Amino acid sequence: MAAPQINNPLHGVTLEMMLIELIERVGWEEMGRCVAIRCFTHDPSLSSSLRFLRRTPWARARVEDLYLQHRRGPPVSR
């Protein structure tokens, strides 16, 4: 049995959960500014973003960083 990952803030958080929270907190437009990828800037959708991010490690890492930044800070008002 694997030991719990206490020092991993992403443990138990799926990519879909991250995207949904980011969409609610900052929106597609801000996500596109922070992580310049087409699936955020041109006709964005959850399913196309998930497909792209699952196949593109560098983009997923940037989204994870963005998620962690917004988890630590106060909620962004629109």
Range of the domain at 60: 15-71
Does residue 10 form part of some domain?
Answer: no
Does residue 6 form part of some domain?
Answer: no
Q: What is the CATH number of the domain that holds 65?
A: 1.10.720.30
Q: How far apart are CA 51 and CA 14, in angstroms?
A: 13
pTM: 0.80
Three-state SS string over 38-54 comes to: HHHHCCCCHHHHHHHHH
How confident is the prediction along the chain (78 residues), in pLDDT tens digits per residue? 566 677 777 778 899 999 999 999 999 999 999 999 999 999 999 999 999 999 999 999 999 999 999 887 665 554
Does residue 47 form part of some domain?
Answer: yes
Q: Whose structure tokens read 């963005």?
A: 66
Helices (H), the chain: 15-25, 27-34, 38-41, 46-55, 57-72
For the chain, what is the domain count? 1
Q: What pLDDT is recorded for position 66?
A: 93
